Amino acid sequence: MIKVNTIKKEYTKWDWQAGKNVPFTEEMTQFILSTPNSTYALAALESGHLCHIYYGRRTDDEDLAYLMRLGENPYTPKVNSRDMGTFMDTTPFEYPVHGTGDYREPAVMIRDGNGATSLDLRYVSYSITDGKPLLSQELEDCTVKVPATYADGSDARTLCITMKEIHTGVEVDLYYTAFESLDAVTRSAVIRNTGDRVDILRALSAAVDFDSCEYDWITLNGSWARERIVERSPLHHGKQSVDSVKGESSHQSNPFVALVSHNADENSGEAYGFNLVYSGNFFAQAEVTQHKRTRVVMGVNPFDFAWALEKGQSFTVPECVMVYSDKGIGEMSRTFHDLYRRHLIRGEYKDKRRPILINNWEATYFNFDEEKLFSIAKQAKELGIEMLVMDDGWFGHRNSDNSSLGDWYVNENKIKGGLKALVDRVNGIGMMFGIWLEPEMISPDSDLYRAHPDWAIQVKGLPLTQSREQYVLDYSRKEVRDCIWSQIKAILDNANIEYIKWDMNRQLTEVASAALPSDRQRELWHRFVLGVYDLQERLCTEYPHILLENCSGGGARFDPGMLFYSPQIWASDDTDAIERLKIQYGTSICYPASAMGAHVSDCPNHTVGRSTPFETRGNVAMVGTFGYELDVTRIPQADRDEIPSQIEKFKKYNPLVRTGDQYRLGNIFEDNTFDAWMFVSKDKSQAVLTYVQVLGRPNYHSRRIKPAGLDPERRYRSSQTGEVHPGSTFMNCGIDVALDGDFKSLVIEFTEV
């Protein structure tokens, strides 16, 4: 719901020139966006400045102007223009600018034809529409759809506020969408140039000024095989930030941050979550100011970024998703989960169980042929697995990771008879077939590189930095994307491919393009990401039946931008069940379990060398898409015999995992001896609890776990004991779990009776 009110307020101000208090009237237009439990309010003052009023627990008051403290501030422009610079540094602005007196972090900065970067945006007008407009970016040779949440008129309403810059003719449309059934507000912007050329140096998606600094700062950090580790610390004076300058959202930081009250836990306290729908360099920062207030900003990283706008051109700023909860961090997470499952993920598999697959990577690495793959498929089929995925090593002349990226045709020395013959053979026994691709990369040892060395991103005259003995293709160039697309299309038209794992195994270096002029080279970071979006949109549009799973050296591109194209993302190359507890916990802070690529792998684990029970590996992988990554023909017979029951359990509980509400019952970051979580159906009739004992307890003492999310008034039967109790009893009193030994686990079902 969006309300707009024009209000006149009477104030008394100290007039420095007159030497006394003088009355004045401030007329403003207030915009109040309401979701079921939150309110976001802003106002355009008479001066044209657009100010933030409030974000938090819902209020239905139509006049919140007093929260701006205009009656307290002696530097309000209408009364005291001589000290307007001080006013600028104390006022909560909606889209703060650089160069006119606000010395806090700006959201936008533009360089004009004279080289000046000062900006002064003023309010012009507004409009309100039902639903949510699509985002796109016009390029010289195509229009690229920009990933964002979507909604129709019954789900959301959108406010568009137009601002104009005084001396350059730059206009900015600020978009705010309030969702009707979720406590989520999204923000994006379009910057248009109506005058002479300007260069955008910074274009962030959102800025929110909070009246306090009494918050904790939560981020999801890590490294390869250790992604999305939860870090929490109190805010301090100055700036605290996370970002990426790698060309992707990265292993090291995720484009998610949260401000939470100091006392916030899973079930209580306030939480504000911010997530950028973008897959490239990002920037998120909380700045505690001299007045102990906080400004949060998020958007495309301004580091090494610029974008030229000629007259008539525009730039689309990616979307920032904002979620508010007054019921703790868990409720914030569940709102993100519902929003992304309903309003971001698209396609045939949006609301559908994903096929149970077996991937040959950890089973064979590069050492396979068509007979080895078929033997895995045949055994897997007998056990109930539904799809074979052929990973790296099937194309060009690739037998290790040092060649052939860019040569997307089958290696018939390895796959004798060709890809179609193998796919038909696997299909013939009732198995689906998928393949691995790394379309953004090129090997120095490839036919493509020998023909087009300038297609690799590079700085002329500098040595090209290799990583995994490969370079990055210049996806800012349409001819490059068209070439790769023609190869992918030939593969997909030739054989019945029903799944693609899209990988990206290195970051960007020597970032320059042979096709861009010198004054537009800093656009390449963003143009590269737009190129990836363009190709993935082609794939989703022309082959809607294909299940796409994104991956980047594991979980380096687990972000909402990728979820717009693929309903699932490979969470991490670390498949160890115990390591995955932290990775999947951290991921669940913002992203739904249905999006987490998770597999049962071999032991000792190939990443950490740990051995865990096969049952525990299965129970942990069920908190995701579920599959296998091992040589099913060589594993111990006891493990092989367990696969059918694991698959039966997964099929039984996947509807809960895919559509239900997730509750984190343990915190593996605070107590590394155990973890536990629950999924509860939306109608509260069924729930499933998973408990993992990382370290055994002395004297075999049981551990008491308190379930969550049940209806306190309904009665449930526990599959663990067969006992029936009200939901309130289970949640308030808890259940006792006793397991003997390390790395053990169990699954408990609660069914309404």
Pick the closest to residue 553 from 247, 333, 255, 145 (CA basis).
Answer: 247
Cα(first)–Cα(last) distance of the chain, in Å?
A: 39
**pLDDT tens column, 257-273:** 999 999 999 999 999 99
Note the pLDDT tens digit of each residue in 392-430.
999 999 999 999 999 999 999 999 999 999 999 999 999
**Which residue from 540, 523, 529 is spatially nearest to 485, judged by alpha carbons?**
540
Give residue 18's pLDDT: 73
Q: Half-sphere exposure of 212 toward its Cβ, with a 13 Å CA cutoff? A: 12
What average pLDDT score do residues 150-176 get? 94
| Statement: residue 215 has pLDDT above 90 | yes
**pLDDT at site 76:** 58
Query: What are the structural domain ranges in the chain?
Result: 2-343, 357-659, 674-752
Burial class (CB in 10 A: 0-12, 13-18, 19+), 463: exposed
* pLDDT of residue 79 exceeding 70: no
Helix %, strand %, coil % of the chain (to 5): 20, 35, 45
pLDDT for 734: 97
- Domain 674-752 sits in CATH at 2.60.40.1180
* pLDDT one-digit tens code per residue, 233-266: 999 999 999 999 999 999 999 999 999 999 999 9
Q: What is the mean pLDDT of the chain?
A: 95
Average pLDDT over residues 537-547: 98
Averaged over 575-591, what is the pLDDT? 98
Rounded to the nearest angstrom, the gap between the alpha carbon of residue 497 and the centroid of all alpha carbons in its chain is 27
Measured CA to CA, the distance from residue 142 to residue 170 in angstroms comes to: 23
Q: Which pLDDT value is given to residue 457?
A: 98
Helix segments in 35-165, DSSP class H: 84-88
Task: Answer whether residue 11 shows pLDDT above 90.
Answer: no
**Model confidence band, residue 607 (pLDDT cutoffs 50, 70, 90):** very high
pLDDT higher than 90, residue 1: no
Domain spanning 357-659 has what CATH number? 3.20.20.70
Under a CB-based contact definition with an 8 Å cutoff, are residues 608 and 340 in contact? Answer: no
Percentage of residues in the chain with pLDDT exceeding 90? Answer: 90
Q: What's residue 77's pLDDT?
A: 59
How much is the pLDDT for 81?
62
* 352 CB-near residues (< 8 Å, 6+ apart): none
pLDDT band of 529, cuts 50, 70, 90: very high
pLDDT of residue 697: 81
Cα of 747 vs its chain's centroid, Å: 29
Tokens describing residue 197: 């050329």
Tell me whether domains 357-659 and 674-752 share a fold. Answer: no
Q: Hey, which residues are catalytic here?
A: 503, 573
Q: Stretch 676-705: mean pLDDT, rounded?
A: 93
- DSSP letter (8 states) at residue 456: B
Which CATH architecture fits 2-343? Answer: Distorted Sandwich (2.70)
Residue 162 is inside which H or E element, if any? strand 156-165
Burial group, residue 6, by CB count within 10 angstroms (0-12, 13-18, 19+): exposed
According to DSSP H, which parts of 543-670 are helical? 560-563, 577-588, 614-621, 637-659
pLDDT digits (tens, 9 = 90+) for 333-381: 999 999 999 999 999 999 999 999 999 999 999 999 999 999 999 999 9
pLDDT band (50, 70, 90) for residue 85:
low
pLDDT at 700: 67
